[in-house]
Each structure stands twice: as C-alpha cells, then as structure tokens.
Chains A and B, each alone.
Chain A
Amino acid sequence: MKKVAITAVGVTKFNKSEKPLESMMLSSIRPIFENAKNLEQDDIDVVLTSTNANRNYLANIISELSGIKPKISHSVESLCNSGTNSLVSAYAYVSSGLADVALVVGADKADNPGLVLNWDTSRGEYRHPIFWSSMFTSAHMRKYGTTLEDLAYVSVKNHRNALDNPHAYFEKPFSIDDVMHSKRLTENLRLLDCSMPCDGAAAVVICSEEKAKKFTDMPIWISGIGQKTISASFTKNNDLTSMESTKSAVGDAYRMSNKVAGDIDVVELHDAFSICEIIELEDMGFCQNGQGSKLVRDLHDTNNKKVNPRGGLIGAGHPLGATGIAQVVEICQQLSGKAGKRQVDGAQTGLVHNMSAGSTSSTVLVLES
C-alpha cells in the first residue's frame, strides 16, 4: 500500500444557524484552497461527503459547487462515525493507487435524522441515546465505584478546553457544581454530561506521498487504522463496562502503526456522554480498567490538554457527519504545532477515536507528523 498523508484541513464554527448544508460544507472547503500551496481543483480526483442528512447525490453537488470534476464521488453514512468512515474510504482509494488526491468533507445540521436509530427495535420505547448512556453509567458505577462527580469532571474539563477552540459550540466554562445541578435526565445523567447536537462542517485533503510534497512541507501521515462493527443493536454490547468495538479497533490501529497507548501524545476521543470518555480511556489502554475517572481528574487538576484538547463532543458540539473529520483536523493542527492555546507541547503522534450508536461501531486512527 502507498503511504497516505493529510495535507490540508478546514473547519467551520459549530453553532445553530439557518445555513444550508451545502453552504456549510463549502465554508469548510474554502480555507483548504486558501491555505494549501499549489492545490487546485483539478488536482482532486475523489470527493467524499459525510452526512446523516439523507441528501441525494450530495458528493456530486458539492463537487460541482466547488469546481471539482472528480473520478470518484459519493456519500458515506454511518451515524456518528460517518466522518472517519469517509476518511477510511478515501484512504483506501489513495493507498491502493486508484486515486491520488481526495477531498473528504462532512457536515450535519442540529436536527439531522441520525440522532436516533429507529431501526433498533431492541431499544423498545427507550430509543434516545440518553438511555444507552445511562446503562453504561450504571454498569461502570456498579463495577468500579464511578461517581456522579467523576462524570462531572469530564464535562468541566472538556468545556474548559473548548474555551480555547474558536470553532466550539460552547463558549463558557462550567463548574463541577454547574454540571452536578444541571437538568437531571436520568438518575445518573445530567444535561451537561451530554454532547450537544449542532450545525458544523469539517474537511480534509488526503493524498499519496508523491503528491503530498507538492501541497505541503508538513504532511501528517495516517499510520494506523482500525474499524470494528459488532452490531447495529445497542443491546448486543455484552459487557456494559467497556466498548467491544473500540477495543477491537484500537488494537488494529496500534498494530498497523506499531504504536502503543504510551506512544500517543494527544487524543481526540468520542465523548458523546461523560461516561464514554472514562470507558474509552480504559479500553484504549491509557489507564487500567476502573482508573478512567482518576485519569480524567488528573488531567483536569493539572490542566493537561492531552485528551480532547478542542473540547471533545461535549465542549465543541456534535454535528454528526462532521465530528470525526473535525477530530482529525484537531489532531493535524496539534501535530503541526498550529493548535494555538490548545497546543500540546511536542505532540508528534496523535489518535482519533470516533464511534456510533452506543459503540456498536468504532473507528480509530493513528496520525503522525
């Protein structure tokens, strides 16, 4: 397989607006052509769009609107990890030699239909994601003694990190007390433990090693990929204290990149709810099982931005089709030393974790400068 690099990125402000999906996508594409050297529309031979918006022929429409006539163009949908799924598809086109340069763009509106998976009849009348989140939380609390305050630390840390992200949905800090006293949705889930569906778009250009030299002096290499789908039904998660698809995906990504958790300098992980960050830190080997809460408190107390420096989904917002790509944008900026106030000093290796539908599917990417 050919080596594959990310050479340019773009992201919009995450908010709630009247802006059409196409305009949001073009807003994230524009800075790519403004900032990448020597990149012209004619260089792009793949355009992939990532969204849950049920839009016909969207990749072709975006191609026309951005002046691109690609060889390959189509949409990729996989609920919350649509973004990284589209990136993995683009990687396959480039690494196989079928294409040289791919533009991947994701976007969603706050009211997109991907927020609830109606197909999953096993959820019964409890179809909203807050109910699966509450089940993970109950199980983790029972097995490891995780507390509501532990969960609040995730939210406080990620909202604080988001203050240094100009594209984040939230622009104010929250205290432990604020989170603990936010609206109680279930016995173990408060409103501020949840990510916020919102509008947003993000885009990246990936290309072969030969092309990368033309477009940038600082390519970011995709050195590891892992993906796993265990089911579409949430109730097929056997152990509710961990995420089977995440453990499988991260294992493959570590093997492919020849890295281990200790090699990772900066992480964007899928904190759809506070409990997700705690479990994912454990499942991806950043701490032992049952120690996720302690790790989060340590990160909070030392103002360490290693995990979710842009604020994660909880602080930055969660426009489903854009989320995975926005996570990749953040890690690229970190590894390029261009993350501003969010910068993790000396970051050379980063990890993206993006999952769907109560972790029935997960994608993990390892990126290196």
Chain B
Amino acid sequence: MTRFEDELRNNNFVCSYCMKCQHFVWPTSEFCNKCLGDVTWKQVSKDAKLVEVSSKNGKYFCIAEFEGNIRVFGSLLGNHPRPDQNLILEKCSYDERPQFVFK
C-alpha cells in the first residue's frame, strides 16, 4: 500500500513531488521523471479544470486536470458540463483503483 493509496482512502489526494524540479510527478513514483531524484508527497489542490467529458447510463465521467499537469479520469456530478469549466474534487477514494468524484 502506497502513501498515495492510503491518503486516497482517507479522502485526501496527495501526489509525488520533486522539490528540486518543482513539479508534481504523475502518476505517482518514487523517482522524479525529470531528474530521477527523490520525491516527497504533496497535497494536491481540490480545484480542477474539466478537460473532456462523456457519459454512461446517464452518469458523467470525465478527464479533469489539477495543478496544470495532473490529469485523471473521474465521475462528474451536475448537468451540462463543458470543457474548461472549473471543477471541485468532491471526493476521492481507493478500492483496488483510484476513484475521483468531481462537481
């Protein structure tokens, strides 16, 4: 179990972050993908932007972007979503896979 998964289970999204390169390493890794140096864990903002959206059985799923470079698939609450609209991470969790819910 990684810190990433543990924190998601507690409804908290943290991501690996390279202090030297000043950027989030996503998907999470023990090494920076620019300098291959060590990373730390950093809180990810709950603010996100909608990249693209579709639906299945009347429920929206989407790609949302955090911090300008962390993109994830998640569920989306609400009506008539449009790309570039601002989203808030309503809930996150981990049950064999990461789970993100936006509104």
Contact residues of A with B, CB < 8 Å?
Answer: 119-127, 131, 134-135, 137-139, 142, 185-188, 233, 235-236, 240
A235 touches B56 (CB 8 A): no
Q: State whether the Cβ of B85 lies closer than 8 Å to any Cβ in chain A.
A: no
Which A-B residue pairs are the 10 nearest by beta carbons?
Answer: A235-B71, A126-B73, A134-B54, A124-B73, A187-B55, A186-B56, A121-B27, A125-B97, A138-B54, A135-B52
B98 touches A138 (CB 8 A): no
Residue picked from A123, A125, A127, A135, most chain B C-beta under 10 Å:
A125
8 A-B pairs whose Cβ atoms sit less than 8 Å apart in the complex: A121-B27, A122-B26, A124-B73, A124-B97, A125-B99, A135-B52, A139-B52, A186-B56
Question: B residues within 8 A CB of A186?
Answer: 54-56
Name the prevailing secondary structure of the B interface residues: strand
The residue that B52 contacts in the complex, of A122, A127, A138, A236, with Cβ under 8 A, is: A138
CA of A122 to CA of B63 in the docked complex: distance in angstroms? 9
Question: B residues within 8 A CB of A125?
Answer: 73, 75, 97-99
A188 touches B98 (CB 8 A): no
B98 touches A124 (CB 8 A): yes
A121 touches B28 (CB 8 A): yes
CB B66 to nearest CB in A, in angstroms, measures 11
Within 70-99 of B, Cβ neighbours of A (below 8 Å) are at 71-75, 83, 97-99
Q: State whether the Cβ of B44 lies closer than 8 Å to any Cβ in chain A.
A: no
CA of A233 to CA of B75 in the docked complex: distance in angstroms? 18
A135 touches B63 (CB 8 A): yes
Task: Assign chain B's interface to a size class.
Answer: 20 to 34
Question: A residues within 8 A CB of B4?
Answer: 121
Q: State whether the Cβ of B100 lies closer than 8 Å to any Cβ in chain A.
A: yes
CB A188 to nearest CB in B, in angstroms, measures 6
Q: B47-69 interface mask toward A, CB cutoff 8 Å, 1 = contact, 0 = none?
A: 00001111110000101000000
Q: Which residue of A lies closest to B60 (CB)?
A: A187
A185 touches B56 (CB 8 A): yes
The residue that B100 contacts in the complex, of A124, A137, A138, with Cβ under 8 A, is: A124
Given contacts A121-B28, A124-B98, 20 further A-B pairs with CB under 8 A are: A119-B27, A122-B27, A124-B72, A125-B75, A125-B97, A125-B98, A125-B99, A126-B61, A127-B97, A131-B54, A134-B56, A138-B52, A138-B53, A139-B52, A186-B54, A188-B54, A233-B26, A233-B27, A236-B71, A240-B51
